[in-house]
Structure 1
Amino acid sequence: MRVVVTTESRCLRTPDARVWVHAGPSYPNWSRYLAAFRTVRVVARVRDVPEVPAGASRVDGEGVEVWPVPHYQGPAEYLRRQPAVRRAVTAAAAEDDAVVLRVPSPIGSLLAAARERRGLPYALEVIGDPYDVFAPGTVRHPLRPVLRHLSTRRLRHQCRTAVGAAYVTEQHLQRRYPVREGIVSTHVSSVYLPAEAYVGQPRVVDGPRGDRTIVSVGTLAQLYKGVDTLLTALARLAGPGRPRLVHLGDGRFRTDLERLAERLGMADRVTFAGVVPTGAAVRRHLDAADLFVMPSRTEGLPQALIEAMARALPAVGTRVGGIPELLAAEDLVPPDDPAALAGAIDRMLADPERMTAASARNLARSRDFSADTLARRRTAFYRAVAAATAQRGHRPLSEPPATVPGAG
């Protein structure tokens, strides 16, 4: 059986027809589906480029192909290209395919609607929360409240309709977007952490604070990563011990954030490193830092934080999404609260014993997301989806669900 998987990643296609991605899931992520399916078709936006971009990772490969969707970026382009996007997405899956939609997602929602119209099954990987994505302060759009309502309602409907759902969180998303009784449901992160992603032992922090470096990671295409809050918080930490910040990630709000750093008198203490290739390049930045900060306004279960924890980095984060499932309560602050964030950063950096304890705790927790640990649960879910797809056949989705084996 083939599986068709949707993603919101923006891919790049070179003249040799190979497909690449700068930031997002690459071939190792998609090849995991081959444990339960014969082939994988990834449905994604694709833009043609003349050559392989520096730092890009291959998406397609043995057993994995990419089904191109016309490229768009942002709501305005999506609306202009929606007819072509809809046609491409609708044609991506045959009747006898298994379908897994990574949601919330405009592409995933288009394919879900197409499957429902034809009485065909689909499963979900719930990787984010639109209620938080469209919360005040995260997106600057006059229709933000309407988009929040509609997208939240849509995801609830999809979870009630799907033949199976895997959530990236252990509890948070399940409470807000439950599946129907009798439907296979599990929690399994989409994080991919090979053995080399882990350090061998925790850090031991001693001595005075010195010149500390903070690292943060996330797209700047929107403001939901809270980097503006982090800059404002760091500006409150006056004096010679004020830490430096290195941010990995890029997007249309980078210029605004650089200007904010200048207004706050922080320009000489902040580095926007832009897009950094996944893997070893990111790990070098993490290893050079003293503290990881995730000031997000919304999250699913953030891979960037788990990667930092695997490098035994102490961390401070906001109390949103799945972050509280990863960090100790003492390392959490409310979102959009520069004063609380500044206090948490200051207390952490001033206390070597606390940093040492956080390093050990984070490294131990990150091992729950090792490739081997997650592979068993993920494969069980994929096999359950294949079985549910075969059992449902072409019966209408309004019929009672067939019994589905547990995912472990």
Structure 2
Amino acid sequence: MRLAFAHDHLFQEDEQGNLYTGGSFNNQAWKRYLNHFDEIIVLARKEKLDNKYNNKTYNNFDLKETKLEPVPSISGPIKQFSNKKEAEDIIRKTLIDSDALIARLPSETGNLAIRIAKKLNKPYAVEVVACVWDALWNHGSLMGKIYAPIAMHKMKKKVYESPYTLYVTNEFLQKRYPTKGKTTNVSNVEISSVFEKAYEIRNSRLEGKTIYKIGMIGSLKNRIKGWDVALNALSILKSNGIDFEFHILGDGEVEQWANLADKLGIRDKVKFCGVLPGGEPVLNWLDEMDLYIQPSFQEGLPRAVIEAMSRGCPVVGSNAGGIPELIDLNCIHKAGEYKDLAASIEKAISNKEYSMMLTKQNIEASKQYEKSELDKKRNEFWASFINEIDRLNKVK
């Protein structure tokens, strides 16, 4: 059985034609679907691998059962018109040759694929991984704010009409994007196992600590992750006499944020670490952090937060998306409120007893995201979807 998977994800291609992917779209993620489908055709964007990165910073996309069918970008008002016809033709051809569609939203590629699938009477399911309003409104551009209500209305309609809908949050996305179809909630983030020894290691490391390593992961391409909030908060810590290093892991141009750090007088404390492939390299990086922060303006259920929790990191984050479903509510600040973020960070790193309490809580809470636990719910949901596909095929 062949599955078409649609999303706006951007794949990287090197000079030899090899494909790579960042974020959560590694081979392990595709294997979740291959438990139920024989082949996956991914409808997504593609670009040449930037020379400043190399293939060691990304994950391979090379399973023999997976194939990328590149779709031109239809994000933004101009590309939605200039590239729409080409995108429609590619998606329609792929769906005709496929048995079903899974569309991950928010994404313009996913929206278009759903519309075409309905015309072709193809079975489809939707994965809801974030709020499109939050993403566009906080993007930083006027056009994003103008398009936000339109995009949210479009996504609400698509999700409500979806016969099968998988949410990555427990409550947040369900409330914003309700559906009349069959649902489940399963995080698209999974960890192989929780690092049980983290508590002991962190407890001993905090003895006599004078310089605290604070970590944050995310794309530097826009302000959605709250980079300006983080830097303003950390400038308060410096003025309060707290010594720290701010380690940033993510792709995108650093100049804008380096300039802001310089303006705030903390440039010497900010370390841009580039990109690492998902999995063990990122986990090892998190092991070196004394605190993880996620002051985002938009999130679904953030992978980095769950990974940080599984390594025993105390975590401070905003009230965006599903973050409050993950961490201690005393560690939550309203998105954009850098003074509150500063206060939360200072409390977490200046009080060892409190910090270790958060470590213990996070280790326990992250266990519900172990692969063995999530596979049960995920497999049950996709098995039900497969049964519906078989039923519809028999009707035809």
TM-score (norm 1): 0.89
Residue 5 of structure 2 corresponds to 5
1:296 positional shift? 0.3
Residue 313 of structure 2 corresponds to 313
1:394 positional shift? 10
Residue 61 of structure 1 corresponds to 63
Residue 345 of structure 1 corresponds to 345
The answer (yes or no) to whether the contact 1:209–1:241 under 8 Å persists in 2 is no
The answer (yes or no) to whether the contact 1:165–1:179 under 8 Å persists in 2 is yes
What's the secondary structure of 1:276's corresponding residue?
Answer: coil
1:9 positional shift? 2.0
Residue 245 of structure 1 corresponds to 246
Residue 186 of structure 1 corresponds to 184
Residue 28 of structure 1 corresponds to 28
What's the secondary structure of 1:92's corresponding residue?
Answer: helix
Matched, 1:369 2:366: no
The answer (yes or no) to whether the contact 1:47–1:70 under 8 Å persists in 2 is no
- Within 2, Cα distance between the matches of 1:224 and 1:318? 12
Letter in 2 for 1:90: R
1:65 positional shift? 2.0
Alignment deviations for residues 319-375 of structure 1 (CA, whole Å, 9 cap, x no partner): 111000001111111110111001111111111011101001101111111111111
The answer (yes or no) to whether the contact 1:3–1:39 under 8 Å persists in 2 is yes
Unaligned regions of 5+ residues in structure 2, if any? none
What's the secondary structure of 1:42's corresponding residue?
Answer: strand
- Within 2, Cα distance between the matches of 1:16 and 1:234? 43
Unaligned regions of 5+ residues in structure 1, if any? 397-408
The answer (yes or no) to whether the contact 2:309–2:362 under 8 Å persists in 1 is yes
Alignment deviations for residues 114-159 of structure 1 (CA, whole Å, 9 cap, x no partner): 1123333311110000121123xx2222233332111111111111
1:14 positional shift? 4.3
What's the secondary structure of 1:320's corresponding residue?
Answer: coil
- Within 2, Cα distance between the matches of 1:139 and 1:379? 35
The answer (yes or no) to whether the contact 2:99–2:123 under 8 Å persists in 1 is no
What's the secondary structure of 2:243's corresponding residue?
Answer: coil
Q: 1:11 to 1:72 in 2, by over 3 A?
A: farther
Q: Name the structure, 1 or 2, with higher relative contact order (CA <8 Å, separation 6+).
A: 1
Q: 1:338 to 1:214 in 2, by over 3 A?
A: same
Residue 124 of structure 1 corresponds to 126
Residue 112 of structure 1 corresponds to 114
Letter in 2 for 1:204: N
What's the secondary structure of 2:71's corresponding residue?
Answer: strand
For 1:33-182, list aligned pairs within 5 A: 33-48=33-48, 53-70=55-72, 80-94=82-96, 97-135=99-137, 138-180=138-180
Residue 406 of structure 1 corresponds to none
What's the secondary structure of 1:140's corresponding residue?
Answer: coil
- Within 1, Cα distance between the matches of 2:63 and 2:315? 36
Alignment deviations for residues 78-119 of structure 1 (CA, whole Å, 9 cap, x no partner): 654333233222322126511111111011011011112333
Letter in 1 for 2:136: F
Q: 1:4 to 1:355 in 2, by over 3 A?
A: same
- Within 2, Cα distance between the matches of 1:34 and 1:279? 20
Letter in 2 for 1:102: R
Letter in 1 for 2:183: S
1:273 positional shift? 1.5
Matched, 1:200 2:203: no
Q: 1:261 to 1:69 in 2, by over 3 A?
A: same
For 1:285-304, list aligned pairs within 5 A: 285-304=285-304
- Within 2, Cα distance between the matches of 1:73 and 1:147? 11
- Within 1, Cα distance between the matches of 2:333 and 2:357? 18
Residue 229 of structure 1 corresponds to 229
The answer (yes or no) to whether the contact 2:99–2:122 under 8 Å persists in 1 is no
Coordinate RMSD, CA, aligned:
2.4
Task: Quote the sequence identity (%).
Answer: 26
What's the secondary structure of 2:147's corresponding residue?
Answer: helix
- Within 2, Cα distance between the matches of 1:389 and 1:369? 28
Q: 1:146 to 1:63 in 2, by over 3 A?
A: same
- Within 2, Cα distance between the matches of 1:267 and 1:297? 23
1:210 positional shift? 1.1
